[in-house]
Amino acid sequence: MNSLESQSFSPGPAPVTVPAQSPESNRHSEQGKSGSKLPGVLRTVALCFLSVLFLLPFYLLARNALLTEEQIQAPKWLWLPTSPQFSNFIAVFNNPEAPLGSALRNSATIAITTLVFQMLISSMAGYALARIPARGKNVVFGIIVATLMIPGAVTFVPSYAVIAALGGVNHTWGIIVPGLFSAFSIFLFRQFYLRFPTEIEEAGRLDGLSYFGVYWRLLLPNSLGILMALGVLCFIGSWNSFVWPLIVGQDTSTWTVQVVLSTFITAQKANYAQLFAAAFVGVLPLVVVFLAMQRYIVEGAKFSSGKE
């Protein structure tokens, strides 16, 4: 009975008292919250400034493409064209000395062909160097990486000698062939396949797949991220290539966009209005490709930096 009474009338836990906050402490907490918002505001301002800075060249390109030759060279600044000169775009396509239409077709052919074959060759080479056991493959990989330290301009003379001996001068395929092989792409594909789960490859080998079957059926379909990231970089690099197409493509039928742009400014004349119009047309495919594939470019940047 006594135990029941002691259980019934035992005092509960002591109430917890919360100390009241002084007005000064409240003021400090509000200042801390406002201070924590300051880095976010500064970040937003910095991003807006950088956005304007990066968009400025595109604004100038579009603005100058719609101005007349006199307005471009006039000392008075015009933020927007008073009467847009869309005739500049018509003129660049009708200029027989600078065939922009065929140049766009040649640039697209070269960029797409280089993209497809470079990704195929580099992915196969990267898979072989990463997965297939072979004696001396590390030496081969070291030689491939060492070629990254060779400036591209050094290879122009021997590459031209080989292409000329094969009869590739003034032919589109002569411009394409040297771009089919990329040490940088092989390096990234090898690093990617080294991280690839070995269980998938072992399961494929147990099912009777050859090394090529494992690559073609299992690894390549799961390499979409790096394929798209490197593919965008390859496309942009091929499209913007200037010196090699200028050396090999001496005939106007093989000129690319970059070669055509160089013809608008010579020692005798300079047609800035048509130059900006042609440059605007030439940069549009790159903008479309970049905006469509920017997510894969970010993924490729994360991979190259070692982040998953």
Q: Could you tell me the pLDDT band of residue 77, with boundaries at 50, 70 and 90?
A: confident
Q: How many distinct helices (H) and strands (E) make up the chain?
A: 15, 0
- Report all structural domains of the chain as residue ranges with CATH numbers, in order of start: 108-253+282-304 (1.10.3720.10)
pLDDT at 99: 87
Q: pLDDT at residue 20 above 60? A: no
What is the torsional sign of CA 115, 116, 122, 127?
A: positive
CB 204, CB 186: distance < 8 Å = no
Report d(CA 101, CA 92) in Å as an integer.
9
- What percent of the chain has a predicted confidence (pLDDT) above 90? 35
| 255 has pLDDT over 90 | yes
Does 80 have pLDDT greater than 50? yes
pLDDT number for residue 8: 44
Per-residue pLDDT tens over the stretch 124-140? 999 999 998 888 899 99
Run of H or E including 77: none
Q: Taking Cα atoms as reference points, which of 247, 250, 200, 244 lies closest to residue 221?
A: 200
268-282 confidence digits (pLDDT tens): 677 888 889 999 999
- Asked if residue 14 has pLDDT above 60, the reply is no
Q: How confident is the model at residue 3 (pLDDT cuts 50, 70, 90)?
A: very low
Least confident interval from 171-180, 244-253, 287-296, 298-307: 298-307
More confident residue, 264 or 24: 264
Sorted by sequence, the CB contacts under 8 Å of residue 115 that are 6+ apart come out as 231, 234, 235, 238
Q: Residues 189-212: what's their mean pLDDT?
A: 88
* pTM given for the model: 0.78
